Chains A and B, each alone.
Chain A
């Protein structure tokens, strides 16, 4: 159990944060196998949370023009055109100018994969069990809510940006614009619609999702549903189906928002094995302490042993 402490390993984050009798932990289960890429989640999120526009630029990465999760994009739908695996005669090599990501080789043999796939997945802040952003926040702007989620308080954030570097998923970000927006410079990300949860409402994205690709609920229950869904897909021969972020033993202690993917996480632009960046803080602290003590002791000894 190396490094197991309140910054690492499985635990229920709300009680750990000091809530006496919190409600069950809330989160998202995003089932990308039924995502139709309609982007209703992106729009509903922006409408509810008053998130300004991100960019008006065609990116050429299939139908994704939102680029990535950032301060102006709290839900992001990725579109991945997975090339045909079946040999296509007279297919000339054409440079699509697309960025390529080196994915780990899939366990599923090529013959068992569909000929061509268009994968869609709505990404969001993971609301980690161990949230590095929160750990490093010097102002207390980022806090753990009673629902076990991680929320930014705009009026406290001083824009230091420590959280930006700390996030293992590259989710949290300081707002760059538009000019005049009161939150420019402030760290922004998904709040899991904290202001809706407190009124017993579903987050806006889950409410808008037409195909129930985004499910909101108690994390415990969602994990069960996710396991059932993967089993059902495997039974139907979709052997690529796998969960991402559901494991409390992973590098961030499991995420409050986790996913069912149809390919390796890298294909969707997700880190394959994220680790909370503050995982080693206690150890580092301990070692730094030991080193400091050793120095002090050394210094003291040097006085003791000084030859007269």
Chain B
């Protein structure tokens, strides 16, 4: 955290000054460790084993916050008797289809009243096509939608029923003992128990623990399950929805939260509405129903209004009830259109053009060679950045020029490089990890021709529309019918010429939403109508422009308001600073403790009592804790007074996820795709459902087998240095930053240095099946070998900031990674791989490719293209498969594209 988020780290330092004990779990000793009381080195990629160990510690010692767990989580809910766990199936859950490598989650569902039969299928029915779910990262939609479940599944509040979630969880994690943690993670039992004690002792009625991670944590083939493991712990310990608790992601850039709320992703639309799918969302109703899940509990019941308001924001007056609010203008997705699929399609010549905005994939994305070869095979490429980054200059200076794979004279990609305004040179908002929007003013004019993204896209759209103005072609209607007029301001001459800066406040107002007839800004998404009388671009942001005031621009001092500081910026939804904060009060609505009072039920307030507190209650204001849903209710009415997790299908925090995840209802330890170790826990080596693109240009280092040379014996990981910003586009081009870390280097332990003959400050190179890169050797005790599964493993660390451009240049660490993805959200595994390290510089020119291919051949990586991903025993696979829904046959057979 101190490395990548030094400004945020001031609060850790502050806590330390007040007596907090800091423990840092990280493969290497970093600037964070330097200030921690204790550093716990861990093997990269073993986090679920570690967190699973803590879950086991909590459950074995009954340290869970029982009142919270029984009432606010699904611990008491009883799971179908068809469910079989990884212990029974050699690392698979029940319902696995080895052909498509996906699960049918029918057997994962909650038990129904009569236990078995129809309800499982109906609960699971929205899961539909499991391959398509993986391809479209459909799990992301569940990020905020929650799973659907019947409102009243059978429960056992004594938590004794052998199939209640609590017992299922307990059995699942029983194997994650301190000894197993030591064997898998390389963490000593003493260090491990110190972490367990710190976490549990600082949770409960009087204390809460926050889990803060940086997004490298997600970059694993089981990335979503990493976060899930953290969520299970936080729920067991009662740390969700309470002050000082929660799970927060520290993002790699400003406003990454904003770019998922109003997404730059292929599969979701603003406010976490799904991108319509060609197969399943033919009509507006299909689309809305897929979000609303008729009959389910919770606030998604109003999804119709959110969807219609978005369509109205896009197409304005053209969107009417008669034409389904132009729903047919919406593009549809047909499968995997993720970043990596797109890059491989570029290599295959299927993609003609590409926009890059503040992104430098030639350096920053996994498998840099594939990225550059892809970009070199386009017709055109638009790059908007502060400097001429590698992704704009690859055609003349990529490493592939040297190897002969890209020839400048033959590279047909036409690159348009546009200078971009930096964040201080344009107005707008940042949305940070607490979902808080903060308005920033333009401080200085952008230099030269540099412009804002808003300017660029507004005028690009305007020009395209002008070009198409006379078109009678039906396919141009979506562009011509767009509501595309924003007030312009800035330099009067530019405005007069039609080239002014679009008003970002006007855009914010549209995002907020307003009444079409009067223009009155909406103050809550509950005011949104599905009849076209209101419009709003992102329902969760409604309220940011309440009363016609830019609420995100508020800067009231914290000394002049409550500790929650509700008048500093604005947080979605409806300025709530802590989500699900109903959980900060006990089932009767009283604060869990005086110290942790936050939101509570005041029976004296209003007509018959109200929720009150420092924050905006995340609950219906007048629904009492004693409210129980009448039989047969759904939607908001089905949320009971003790259901704090109002967006979940059953109102409860999910310790166990019956649907929505592609790879299983509970996190289980799988080895990284590339690992020098066999999975100690079961025969299934790595995530069986992971997304892989098995092609000759994407070889993966195989897991060592007996009788084959172990040519990639070391584990490597990458991360950021404080001195540089990600792929270096904002730091390597500035002298005052570039000089701070002027060269690519490779950190190794003194032991590995001795083993491989590496000299401090000498050269070394690191090799994988994809590439070999070189850097200076940094021998340091900050890296130390670990004992894992009875043998020593060396971990190598590299920063990933360099490329061939900038004031300081060097090889890019991301060239070492292949492409294998988490199946839920299609994020790449780019924080762990296996490698070899050799002294001296790497070969150059064509010899480099021969060298790398030699390694790949010796390791068996080339043959590996046809070897199986499913490594559980065939008996386990067969038994898992039996738990699939018999109704499966009705789905069309799938092409197994990645074989």
What is the interface of chain A, defined by CB distance below 8 A to chain B? 34, 36-40, 42-43, 46-47, 52-58, 60, 62-63, 65-66, 81, 83-84, 88, 90-92, 94-98, 116-120, 210-212
B320: chain A residues within 8 A (beta carbon): none
B781, A210: Cβ atoms closer than 8 Å: no
A118, B741: Cβ atoms closer than 8 Å: no
B760: chain A residues within 8 A (beta carbon): 60, 94-98
B759: chain A residues within 8 A (beta carbon): 95, 97
Taking the complex as formed, is B719 at the interface, i.e. its CB lies under 8 A from any CB of chain A?
A: no
**A283 vs chain B, min Cβ distance (A):** 44
A-B contact count (CB 8 A): 114
Contact with A along B727-763 (1 / 0, CB 8 A): 0000000011111111101000011011000011100
B741, A65: Cβ atoms closer than 8 Å: yes
Complex: A56 Cα to B735 Cα, angstroms: 9
Instruction: Kindly report which residue of chain A lies nearest to residue B758, judged by CB atoms.
Output: A94
| Given known A-B contacts A65-B741, A91-B751, A116 and B31 have beta carbons under 8 A apart | no
A94: chain B residues within 8 A (beta carbon): 750, 753-754, 760, 779
B736, A57: Cβ atoms closer than 8 Å: no
B34, A92: Cβ atoms closer than 8 Å: no
Complex: A53 Cα to B740 Cα, angstroms: 10
B750, A91: Cβ atoms closer than 8 Å: yes
| Given known A-B contacts A34-B13, A46-B736, A92 and B780 have beta carbons under 8 A apart | no
User: Which residue of the partner chain, among A42, A66, A98, A118, contacts B782 with CB atoms under 8 Å?
Assistant: A118
**B525 vs chain A, min Cβ distance (A):** 36
**A261 vs chain B, min Cβ distance (A):** 14
Contacts of B8-38 to chain A: CB distance below 8 A: 9-10, 13, 16-17, 29, 31-35
Instruction: Kindly report which residue of chain A lies nearest to residue B5, judged by CB atoms.
Output: A210
The count of chain B contact residues (Cβ–Cβ below 8 Å) is 44
**A293 vs chain B, min Cβ distance (A):** 56
Q: List 10 A-B contacts (CB under 8 A).
A: A36-B6, A37-B34, A38-B722, A56-B739, A58-B761, A81-B781, A88-B784, A95-B759, A116-B29, A116-B781
B761, A53: Cβ atoms closer than 8 Å: no
Taking the complex as formed, is B497 at the interface, i.e. its CB lies under 8 A from any CB of chain A?
A: no
A96: chain B residues within 8 A (beta carbon): 750, 760, 779
**B752 vs chain A, min Cβ distance (A):** 10
A83: chain B residues within 8 A (beta carbon): 781
Taking the complex as formed, is B229 at the interface, i.e. its CB lies under 8 A from any CB of chain A?
A: no
What is the interface of chain B, defined by CB distance below 8 A to chain A? 2, 6-7, 9-10, 13, 16-17, 29, 31-35, 39, 721-723, 735-743, 745, 750-751, 753-754, 759-761, 776, 778-782, 784, 807-808
Complex: A38 Cα to B31 Cα, angstroms: 8
User: Which residue of the partner chain, among B6, B10, B753, B761, contacts A212 with CB atoms under 8 Å?
Assistant: B10
| Given known A-B contacts A40-B6, A91-B751, A95-B760, A120 and B34 have beta carbons under 8 A apart | yes
| Given known A-B contacts A58-B745, A98-B760, A47 and B736 have beta carbons under 8 A apart | yes
User: Which residue of the partner chain, among A40, A46, A55, A118, contacts B31 with CB atoms under 8 Å?
Assistant: A118
| Given known A-B contacts A60-B778, A94-B754, A211 and B741 have beta carbons under 8 A apart | no
Complex: A43 Cα to B741 Cα, angstroms: 12
A65-B739, A66-B740 known; 8 other A-B pairs, CB under 8 Å?
A: A34-B13, A43-B737, A53-B736, A57-B742, A88-B784, A91-B751, A116-B39, A118-B34
Instruction: Kindly report which residue of chain A lies nearest to residue B752, judged by CB atoms.
Output: A94
Instruction: Kindly report which residue of chain B lies nearest to residue A62, judged by CB atoms.
Output: B780
B782: chain A residues within 8 A (beta carbon): 81, 116, 118
Instruction: Kindly report which residue of chain A lies nearest to residue B779, judged by CB atoms.
Output: A96
A66: chain B residues within 8 A (beta carbon): 739-740
Complex: A65 Cα to B744 Cα, angstroms: 13
B13: chain A residues within 8 A (beta carbon): 34, 36, 211-212
B781: chain A residues within 8 A (beta carbon): 81, 83-84, 116
Complex: A65 Cα to B808 Cα, angstroms: 13
Complex: A120 Cα to B3 Cα, angstroms: 13
A118, B33: Cβ atoms closer than 8 Å: yes
A97, B761: Cβ atoms closer than 8 Å: yes
A43, B740: Cβ atoms closer than 8 Å: yes
Instruction: Kindly report which residue of chain B lies nearest to residue A84, judged by CB atoms.
Output: B781
Complex: A282 Cα to B721 Cα, angstroms: 51
Instruction: Kindly report which residue of chain A lies nearest to residue B753, judged by CB atoms.
Output: A94
Instruction: Kindly report which residue of chain B lies nearest to residue A77, judged by CB atoms.
Output: B740
User: Which residue of the partner chain, among A36, A39, A54, A116, contacts B9 with CB atoms under 8 Å?
Assistant: A36
Complex: A43 Cα to B779 Cα, angstroms: 27
B751, A37: Cβ atoms closer than 8 Å: no
Complex: A46 Cα to B735 Cα, angstroms: 10
A52: chain B residues within 8 A (beta carbon): 735
User: Which residue of the partner chain, among B9, B780, B784, contacts A81 with CB atoms under 8 Å?
Assistant: B780
